[in-house]
Each structure stands twice: as structure tokens, then as C-alpha cells.
Amino acid sequence: MKKLVSTLNLSHEEWLKYRKQGLGGSDAGAICGLNPYASPMSVYYDKIREDTEETDNEAMRQGRDLEDYVARRFMEATGKRERRANAIFQSEAHPFMLSNVDRMVAGERAGLECKTANSYQLARWKDGAIPAHYLIQCFHYMAVTGSDAWYLAVVILGREFQYRKILRDDEMIENLIQIESDFWNNHVLAGVMPEPDGSESCEEILKKYYPSANRQTILLPEALNQQLKRREEILELTKRLQTEQKQIEQEVKLYMKENETAVGNLYRVNWSNVETAKLDTKRLKIEEPEIYRKYSVGNAMRRFTVRAA
């Protein structure tokens, strides 16, 4: 590996620009279809767009701020020492593979990835389990740095601290290199958008790419006609399954009658009183048109509908 750039005095804007020069560890799981928060399409969009705007949220902010704390807990639990890498590394054999690692472990050919998770994600870490996209991220780092192992430490907020040691798997790494090479060369460099995968991430990217319609009509190819036919079959199957679901719920309600809670060896059911309030916008528009106009918010969007030709 080689050091692409030091991150010691690198601005966030410059860091984002360097990320566009290749695929990082957080991209790897998405390219493999294993990241619940990103997709191959969103990675492609991130690499080819000219601006460097990055989505941020409270969970991401807490993850960054708590990185030092997770690293300290790792040292306390293992007795090992770690140091900041302060660099973006690049694979010499595969220059499109980059790594902005959290820490390197002293005295070992190994690194450390620090994570935080909320208590609802505890099951994902149960009995030594590792979320798939984090596992792929660690193998990516081993591929770039040539390390023999990677440690993954996580603080599950309000619950516990855990860590894992992931040993190098050359077969897994070779497969990952091939997947990333294919993505970089045949999608990013070629300017070819990956196929959609049904995720919310893909839906958001399509909205950004094609925000408005030009009112022209085009012909659908036979392949897409067949896909739409399959869509109709899925809708019909979904409708039948939803009816079966409702029937089961109604049978439980009939059994419960006036009782609020029912408990079994597998499930606990609550059928509770809930107060709800809904704004009557039609009435508001008629009786208070000025107030309706004042607080109405425009939301331009494209509506997708399908009907028989």
C-alpha cells in the first residue's frame, strides 16, 4: 500500500474529493448489496457527481464523536495499543481501492474499526455475529493495507461494549477485489449506472437524477412489459397475503374481546386505546382559505402509475 494523502491538515471538503478517486471501506458493503443504508447506485452517484455535498445525521455525528471512546474501551478490554493512521491509503496493485482507516494496532499487522450502535441493533451483534457490511469493510481494509487481521469494536449505546477479531481470508479478499474492480471499471469509469435493487437508497437516487418529466411518450421494450406483468402478479399476491394477515389479526381480536393484552409462549399482543387527531385539510381550505394558503408547502414530485394499455 501507499499513503495517498495525509489527513492531519486536510479539510473535510478536500477529504470528500479524495474519496471520489476510488472505493473506500464504507463503499464495499454497498457495492456487494449488503449495506442496509446504501446501494451500488448510491455509491455510483457519489463517485460521479461533481459536488462534494455529503449527507449527515445525528447518528453519524455521534459515531465520529465517540470514536475515541470506542478506541479507549478496546484498549482497556484487550491491553493492546492503537494509533491513528492519519492518512488515506491506496492499494498499489489496485489503485481504485482506498482506505481511510480509524486506527492501526501497535505490534501487529492489523487495524481497528470503531463503531457505535443503538440498543435496537443489539441482536445484530449477538453471539459473536458481525453485520455483513462491516465485515466486508474490514476485508476491504485488509486488502488495501496487506494486514493479517482487523479488529472491529462496537459500543452499543446504553448496553455494552464488544469487539471482534477478523482474520485475513485471501479467497474472500480476491472475490471482493474482483467485485470492486468490476464496479469501478464497468460502472464508475464507464459512466454506466448500476441496476436498481429495490432499496430506498435507489429510489432516492432516481428522484435526484430524474426530478421532472418532459411530457414525451416513449415505447416500452418487451423486457420491461414482462417485468410490469410480473409486478401485477406480485401486487395480486401481496393483496392475498395482506387479506390473510388481516384475517389472523381479526381472529386474535375476536378472541381478546374487551381485554387489552394477551400473552402466549411466543408473542405478547396489545390491543390498546389510542387517541388520534387528524387535520381536516379539505374543510380548512374551504372555511379558512388564507390560513390554508399561508401554511401550505409545495412538494414537486413525479407520480408513478401503471394501468393496462
Measured distance CA(150)–CA(141) in Å, rounded: 8
- Distance between first and last Cα of the chain: 57
Residue 221 pLDDT level (bands cut at 50, 70, 90): very high
CA pair distance 155, 117, nearest whole angstrom = 6
The answer for residues whose C-beta is within 8 angstroms of residue 128's C-beta and 6 or more apart is: 164
What is the distance, to the nearest Å, from the Cα of residue 151 to the centroid of all Cα atoms in its chain?
21
- Residue-wise pLDDT for 19-66, tens only, equals 999 999 999 999 999 999 999 999 999 999 888 766 667 777 777 788
Going from the C-alpha of 284 to that of each of 88, 276, 279, 294, 300, the distances in angstroms are 56, 18, 8, 12, 22
Confidence of residue 135 (pLDDT cuts 50, 70, 90): very high
8 vs 55, more confident: 8
- Structure confidence at residue 1 (pLDDT): 78
**Prediction pTM value:** 0.80
Q: Mind listing the pLDDT tens digit for each residue in 205-219?
A: 999 888 889 989 999
What would the pLDDT profile of 101-110 be if each residue is shown by its tens digit?
989 999 999 9
Give the mean model confidence (pLDDT) for residues 292-307: 75
- Asked if 62 and 72 touch (Cβ cutoff 8 Å), the reply is no
Q: How many residues does the chain have?
A: 309
Percent of the residues in the chain that have a pLDDT greater than 70, as a whole number: 95
| pLDDT tens readout for residues 158-179 | 899 999 999 999 999 999 999 9
| 303 — pLDDT class (breaks 50, 70, 90) | confident
Fold of 2-209: Lambda Exonuclease; Chain A (3.90.320)
Q: What is the mean pLDDT of residues 120-124?
A: 89
Look up cell 381480536; give the residue: 253
The domain ranges of the chain are 2-209, 222-295
Per-residue pLDDT for 285 more than 70? yes
Return the DSSP state at 97: B
Grid cell, residue 56, equals 449527515
Which is nearest to 271 in space by CA: 284, 256, 281, 282? 256
